[in-house]
Amino acid sequence: MTLYSVIITALMLNLHKTRNQLMAIKPKITVFILFFTITLSLLSCKKEKNDVIPDVYVDFYISLSDPLFFDLAVPLNFVYVNASTNNLGSKAAGYDNNGIIIFRSQEYEFLAFDRTCPHDYAVNSLSVQVNVEDMLYAVCPECKSKYALPNFGTPLSGSVSKYPLKNYKTSFDGVNVHVWNY
């Protein structure tokens, strides 16, 4: 055997041994990479809390056949609902009894928003009731922020508010609109 063939044989044995060692630690590396990736993604998912209005229990139904809600017969219309509307009580009061805006954005889609201005609440701890203007916007009389109802209550550019109106869940069965938050 020549020196060259001895060196080649030794290298081949070393490569085979190294390959087997790598195969033995491959599952450990895979688990480590998976754990590291999950941990990193969980730590980096800190989302800014946009829902600054405290939760209150909301759960009520309105019927579009009720004359009080005829305005909701066509899209891009709204109604105000509060505790005294059709004796719905505190489940329709919204935060601090400011009420709720129900907005029909499309034929089968309704959006519901708390009428409390999120900017005034977050910055000054004030409970200021927003009002709808031009059928499409809610405007705060205090900070003058303007919220686009068809765009899920997000503030328009130029508004001081960086928070959207508090949204409530809705469903529609063709006659009744259910508004809730649980």
User: So where are the chain's domains?
Assistant: 1-46, 59-180
**Which of 14-28, 53-67, 90-104 shows the lowest mean pLDDT across its residues?**
14-28
| pLDDT tens digit sequence for 30-50 | 655 555 556 555 555 544 566
pLDDT recorded at residue 19:
54
Q: Is the pTM higher than 0.85?
A: no
pLDDT of residue 8: 62
- Structure tokens belonging to residue 65: 């056949």
Element (H, E) at 5: helix 3-44
* The CATH number, out of the four listed (3.30.300.30, 3.50.50.100, 3.40.50.300, 2.102.10.10), of the domain defined by the range 59-180: 2.102.10.10
